[in-house]
């Protein structure tokens, strides 16, 4: 999302909340663009509209609210998020067959876990194969999530104005963060 797209999303917020219609939210649009560079305008629009439909108190949505709503939308539509370790293990137990190596799994983390442990070890495994599967699976999911968060953090840093650090930028716009009026 860029600044223009963030400003468009903020226009929806301003139109529905009379208490902020006289406020200058250009710094908020810049902050949203810096904090959420990985969110497309379309997903951001869906998230903001969903938040506005559910919002009971007229406040500007925080980036975390938008990000969480985007995750809910993506998970609901595309089932991108990894299943829990127990759900993954149940899928493996019901579908794994040593004689059918090219099995289709609901998430790449399940397939990677099976490659690491080995389908032969899972099919003929002893009593603790479920525990081993879940430990390896959880490490793979955590590593994938960490890599994604690191990529987003690098995008945020890249979108910060070149002549300022991120902390300097936030300090200049602290009235937004702290709810103070600019002096």
The answer to whether residue 169 sits within a structural domain is no
Q: Among 80, 106, 131, where does a domain finish? A: 80
Q: What percent of the chain has pLDDT over 90?
A: 10
DSSP secondary structure letters along the chain: --HHHHHHHHHHHHHH-GGGTTS--HHHHHHHHHH-TTS-HHHHHHHHHHHHHH-SS--PPPHHHHHHHHHHHHHHHH--SPPPHHHHHHHHHHH--TT------SSHHHHHHHHHH-HHHHHT--TTHHHHHHHHHHHHHHHHHHHHHHHHHHHHHHHS-TTS-HHHHHHHTHHHHHTPPP-
Residue 50 lies in a domain: yes
Residues 107, 63 within the same domain: no
Summarize pLDDT for 149-174 with one digit per residue, the tens: 777 666 666 665 665 555 565 555 54
Residue 66, pLDDT score: 92
Q: Same domain, yes or no, for 23 and 72? A: yes
pTM of the model: 0.48
The whole-number average pLDDT for the span 122-150 is 83
Is residue 161 included in any domain, yes or no? no
Domain hosting residue 115, numbered range: 85-145
Residues 24 and 58 in one domain: yes
């Amino acid at each position: 999302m860029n600044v223009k797209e963030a400003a468009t999303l903020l226009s929806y917020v301003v139109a529905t909340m009379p208490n902020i219609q006289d406020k200058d939210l250009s710094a908020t649009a810049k902050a949203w663009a810096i904090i959420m560079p990985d969110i497309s305008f379309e997903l951001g629009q869906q998230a903001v509209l969903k938040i506005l439909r559910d919002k009971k108190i007229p406040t500007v949505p925080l980036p975390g609210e938008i990000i969480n709503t985007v995750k809910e939308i993506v998970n609901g539509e595309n089932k991108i998020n990894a299943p829990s370790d127990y759900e993954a293990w149940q899928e493996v137990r019901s579908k794994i067959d040593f004689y059918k190596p090219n099995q289709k799994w609901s998430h790449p983390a399940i397939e990677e876990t099976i490659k690491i442990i080995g389908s032969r070890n899972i099919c003929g495994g002893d009593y603790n194969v479920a525990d081993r599967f879940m430990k390896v699976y959880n490490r793979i999911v955590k590593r994938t999530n960490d890599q994604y968060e690191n990529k987003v953090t690098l995008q945020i840093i890249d979108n910060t104005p070149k002549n300022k650090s991120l902390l300097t930028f936030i300090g200049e716009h602290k009235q937004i963060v702290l709810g103070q009026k600019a002096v």
